[in-house]
Structure 1
């Protein structure tokens, strides 16, 4: 089967039109059309339904497109390994993690990585869904649970717990709850329990709501919860890693917290020798060490005072 024709077919299937594919491939629409017709003739099948609004894959076209998608991912993986055979750290690194961890912890620390590797390009994909690393939907992931996919190298980074936080201004105005029962008189800011999140977080919120809290604000990610808590709207349910970077938040009910949430870094086995992966892994490890040290120092200061 002609590789060049498959490349053109993939571009057409991905774009849904001959014109758009031609622009991507720097070919005329007629040249693209001829290659598609030739591929269909060689396979003795129809790959596209032609409509006024564009092209739709036939059942046979879907099968071929699945194959070309898999081929492209393998080629990308091979290309990444070839690039990583160089001594310098450069090029694109696709990193996926949750919206909360990515926006509140990781993104503010990325300047340290860019200072060291200015030619590195990070594509940060923040979402609650789990991307398929072996299929190269991302290069490296930071996840709030141990990855279950095969052929992954995984490293446990740290543990997170959900706790209660509010501003001093809010507590001065509405009072500081001393018991769980006193939460009833406060507004709870949290993720909706039906939102995509780790079980420990959802279970913690459900437990809090058993204390008769009737006033609440729910947000579908922790960045929103943080902003609402900082604005003094109530007591926020937030991961404990926010405390270092947002010292104006005060912990409420020091003995109340969720179960432990493990945080893992994972990447495909085939990228074991990747210098970009190593650079990112070392960066995250160093930042977590510094993060822990800052918490330790702050706790020592509080104890000393």
Structure 2
């Protein structure tokens, strides 16, 4: 058996059926069907019980999926160890970060980084979900978090401050009487649910978003007032800070990597450079450069 057999069985198990597994692997469903039948014939055993609701692993199938997980972990560990032997800042560097940090904060910094390190090729993976650095999904993560994964190493660069903002016409109005724009229940682990319940009555919420991205644009458009990171909102002349800092929404800004990669020259160069840059940006990130107006 080869690695592709294990990948197919694991994908079917993860996606609950052949069609979605085939799409994930980039193959035709009929090809996936024939390959799975061939694997079961070669092993002389059934790997899945077929039901209307999908494919359910048998004991043999579960053992094969567990073996696939161990194989993938070994490959990822080898890749990290090999990458960690780099001695010069050159090669590919994959950075993952949420969309809200990209445009206003990260792009100008990346532009300066490419000037200093022209031999490092950057790959930016914009994702609201935390990619798995242990699986080598990315090399470095820039994340807003109060509890980064224990298996990663890195630096807390700043504390991201939040406050309530709105257009100037909302100045002087009680915030509880204003229309509100807020992130939805699933954003940031439900952190905004508690904030909304304590600051905005349900009938005052006129727009929810399933991501922080777009929140500032909605507030700038005058749809309502809402919580925004200070580094983003204070730079917009059309917005006014309507509250003090909101400690319940603040979060650490972390730069993280896997321990096997921290000595790789390109990773070390990026983390040192980002630390230098964030020091100069920290007053704005922590909301200290623009007092409430």
Specify if TM > 0.5. yes
- Equivalent residues of 1:147, 1:264 under 8 A apart: no
- Equivalent residues of 1:164, 1:235 under 8 A apart: yes
Q: 1:288 maps to which residue?
A: 278
Paired residue for 1:251, among 240, 249, 273?
A: 240
Paired residue for 1:9, among 5, 11, 31?
A: 5
Q: Distance in 2 between matches of 1:46 and 1:150?
A: 38
Cα distance per residue 1:27-63 (max 9 Å; x no partner): xx7xx969x55x964x553446799xxx986542343
- Equivalent residues of 1:140, 1:277 under 8 A apart: yes
Structure 2 unaligned segments of length 5 or more: list them: 13-17
Q: 1:219 maps to which residue?
A: 209
Q: Tell me, what secondary structure is at the counterpart of 1:149?
A: coil
- Equivalent residues of 1:201, 1:258 under 8 A apart: no
**Closer, same or farther: CA 294–103 of 1 in aligned 2, 3 Å:** closer
- 1:281 positional shift: 1.5
Q: What TM-score does the superposition give when structure 1 sets the normalisation length?
A: 0.69
Q: 1:120 maps to which residue?
A: 121
**Closer, same or farther: CA 177–195 of 1 in aligned 2, 3 Å:** farther
Q: 1:163 maps to which residue?
A: 163
Cα distance per residue 1:134-162 (max 9 Å; x no partner): 34444333333343533321311110122
Q: Is 1:188 aligned to residue 180 of structure 2?
A: yes
Cα distance per residue 1:71-97 (max 9 Å; x no partner): 2243133224324423242124252x3
Q: Distance in 2 between matches of 1:100 and 1:46?
A: 46
Q: Is 1:81 aligned to residue 72 of structure 2?
A: no
Q: Distance in 2 between matches of 1:295 and 1:152?
A: 23
- Equivalent residues of 2:158, 2:282 under 8 A apart: no
Q: 1:204 maps to which residue?
A: 195
Q: What TM-score does the superposition give when structure 2 sets the normalisation length?
A: 0.72
- Equivalent residues of 1:204, 1:257 under 8 A apart: no
Structure 1 unaligned segments of length 5 or more: list them: none
Q: Distance in 1 between matches of 2:220 and 2:244?
A: 22
Number of residue pairs aligned between Structure 1 and Structure 2: 271
Cα distance per residue 1:218-276 (max 9 Å; x no partner): 212222211112223222310112146x3324332353533442222222222222233
- 1:175 positional shift: 4.4
- Equivalent residues of 2:155, 2:255 under 8 A apart: yes
Cα distance per residue 1:148-191 (max 9 Å; x no partner): 53332131111012212234xxx2xx34126xxx1244222221
Q: Distance in 2 between matches of 1:57 and 1:203?
A: 39
